[in-house]
Amino acid sequence: MRRKLIVGNWKMHGSLASNAELLAGIRAAEPFNCDAGVCVPYPYLAACVLALQGSSVALGAQDCSAHEQGAYTGEVSAAMLADVGCRYVIVGHSERRAMHGEGDQLVADKAKIALAKGLVPIVCVGETLAEREADQTEAVVKRQLSAVIHTLGPCISRVVVAYEPVWAIGTGKTASPEQAQAVHAVLRTQLRAATEGADQMKILYGGSVKPDNAATLFAQPDIDGGLIGGASLKAADFVAICRAAS
């Protein structure tokens, strides 16, 4: 059985004081019977790495540059993230695809450099409401994943995939366990065609995961944990979701 993974995506929330309180609350509930991580805003990585010393909760970032280094004002490289102690980096979150125009190939390039620098990329895919209503869900997520498979080749087995239907993010509308499982199964099948390691890969679900719906989602055969937005900002909720994954 695959060990479940719960990752908090704090997005653009927090402060030195509130982060310290949140991490202390999470640490007080350790150990968890699942893998766990938090993806925090760049300025707080250094403080969070200290706050997580000796913890099994891993640190991650929410994006990285596709470039190695150089004159890219405002960007942060994968090597820098690894240097400060990150294990994970989210790439291709729908908020970046929608608000920053990130396309499939750029996302794939970010996943590639993240892997090369020793990070585990969490590659997000997911359809909009309009795409779901037009019966395009499968085509969209396969297209998004296919760019990453094509760019990484067999190394695809080292990434974490996150299915996040855009219509379920921050809306309180969760995909039903059956809807989510159906897409996860499509992604697993696509991965099986690319790597022998597909059955060991983690495919996370994200989109309004809360303590009260987490267990039924995680009970689905191809849902290996969650990428948690809003509920990861409250220690009690994040801990409850980690327990639901145990």
Kindly tell me which of 60 and 195 has the beta carbon lying closer to ligand 13P.
Answer: 60
Kindly tell me which of 197 and 211 has the beta carbon lying closer to ligand 13P.
Answer: 211
User: How far is it, in rounded angstroms, from Cα 231 to Cα 10?
Assistant: 9
| Least distance to ligand 13P, CB of residue 31, Å | 24
Residue 161: which of 127, 203, 120, 119 has the closest Cα?
Answer: 203
Reply yes or no on whether 127 is catalytic. no
What sign does the CA torsion over 64, 43, 27, 50 have?
A: positive
Determine the 3-state secondary structure of 194 from DSSP.
Answer: coil
| Least distance to ligand 13P, CB of residue 203, Å | 14
Taking the CB of residue 135, how many other CB atoms lie within 10 A of it? 9
Residue 203: which of 169, 189, 212, 213 has the closest Cα?
Answer: 189
| Least distance to ligand 13P, CB of residue 208, Å | 4
| Least distance to ligand 13P, CB of residue 80, Å | 21
Kindly tell me which of 93 and 112 has the beta carbon lying closer to ligand 13P.
Answer: 93
- The CA–CA distances, whole Å, from 31 to 5, 56, 57, 216 equal 14, 8, 9, 22
User: How far is it, in rounded angstroms, from Cα 195 to Cα 65?
Assistant: 26
Kindly tell me which of 125 and 156 has the beta carbon lying closer to ligand 13P.
Answer: 125
Per CB under 6 A, residues contacting ligand 13P are 9, 93, 164, 169-170, 206-209, 227-231
Catalytic position from the list 68, 93, 102, 150: 93
Catalytic position from the list 95, 127, 164, 184: 164
Reply yes or no on whether 138 is catalytic. no
Taking the CB of residue 165, how many other CB atoms lie within 10 A of it? 28
Measured at CB, which residue is nearest to ligand 13P?
Answer: 229
What sign does the CA torsion over 148, 182, 4, 201 have?
A: negative
User: How far is it, in rounded angstroms, from Cα 211 to Cα 236?
Assistant: 9
Kindly tell me which of 206 and 225 has the beta carbon lying closer to ligand 13P.
Answer: 206
| Least distance to ligand 13P, CB of residue 204, Å | 9
User: Known catalytic residues?
Assistant: 93, 164
